[in-house]
Amino acid sequence: MKSTKIVPLQQPESAVVYTATVISVSNKHCVIELSGTHYTAQIIFSCLVQPIKNDVVMCVLSATGDYYITGVVEREASQSMTVSFPEDVTMQSLTGSMSFLSSDSVTVAASKNINCISDQALHKSNRAVVNYDQLTASGTDLQSSFSSVRLISDFINTMSKQVLQKFKNYVRHTEESDQTKAGNMTRQVKGLYSMDSQHTILISKKDTKIDGERIHMG
């Protein structure tokens, strides 16, 4: 392929860089003040920090006569900033880790979904508040350790193939009815077994056996 040696008679003009003050912000455009004159400038795609009013910004005058804001130089009122993306964003670290650090608080908000996917997750805080309208949790193994547990609910439905419970002291209070249905029931008490009721009814379809050294009735 032969190279051409044609030299254009007029070279393209180079872009000129200025600093200007933001007068107002509207979507992807700003009104800037440069040397006492107002111009409309477009925020470039890679300018992630959203300019606000009274910011000193760096802008470029293109060869076509258009102004483009390339970044924020100075913000006198406050050092707070908004990192703005026009559409979908992917933050990626291919070989390393990624950290978000804050001395105050971190807020993650989405109008639709928040997905957290990892091989291992660690959540640690002095106090946590979890509020869901609907919650579905599933897994293979669950272990929890708390000094005190309080459950308040209108209805609790527990279904399990096998349940093993061990307590040092167990107190259950039912204001109305308490029903237990079982194929077989065995109770072993090392000390005293006491049952106090206003009325007691024992019904056996076949045999009833009471065995003891002494039986007191009445």
pTM score above 0.75? no
> Per-residue confidence at 73, pLDDT binned at 50, 70, 90?
very high
Go through the domains of the chain in sequence order and give each one's CATH number. 16-74 (2.40.50.140)
| Digit-coded pLDDT (tens) for 158-208 | 999 999 999 999 999 999 999 999 989 898 999 988 888 888 888 898 888
> Per-residue confidence at 13, pLDDT binned at 50, 70, 90?
low
Look at residue 5 in the predicted model and tell me its pLDDT: 59
Query: Hey, what long-range contacts does 177-184 have (CB within 8 A, 24 or more apart)?
Result: none
Cβ atoms within 10 Å, residue 22: 21
8 Å CB contact between 27 and 19: no
